[in-house]
Structure 1
């Protein structure tokens, strides 16, 4: 019998300035993604290979990501952004979420 895999964490849709996830390619690094607002239709227009989900830094939820559709240069240079779907149910901010605090210049 095949071993049943653990269920993935839920995908949450909430507003934040930035979201963080562990790097998929470099152990110990953290990716900080700016969040943009898109409708479901605009998100669906992004090619399948340019969108997906990322696990949160705390590991308790996932969030939607895509290559920035507003980037005007070559697609391979576009940065990945977190996505808030404006026409989907907004979830409450999870307790495990720690917002990114940007250092102020002295």
Structure 2
């Protein structure tokens, strides 16, 4: 299952990058508690209030343009940031081996439309 989503955020690319890589900012829109080492080979642990925990390994970091994480279920999320006249274009490509995971992540992407 592959889901792609693109949105333009009214912030600079550096601000969007911080929202993707700083645990405190990830806790504002993605998970309730985040541990993330945004370096190649770094680990990420994402906790939600419902008890769900997801783990990832950082595969690629090209600040402030591209971040690739591999989830423990072999799903991969690739985020690319590009300048746009109205701020920053965020392109997310999520590949998941199961429908359920990809669908949940697609729903989580709703932060981008707020």
Larger radius of gyration: 1
**TM > 0.5 fold call:** no
TM-score category of the 2 structures, normalised to the smaller one: 0.3 to 0.5
Greater strand fraction, Structure 1 or Structure 2? 2
Greater helix fraction, Structure 1 or Structure 2? 2
TM-score, normalising length: structure 2 = 0.31
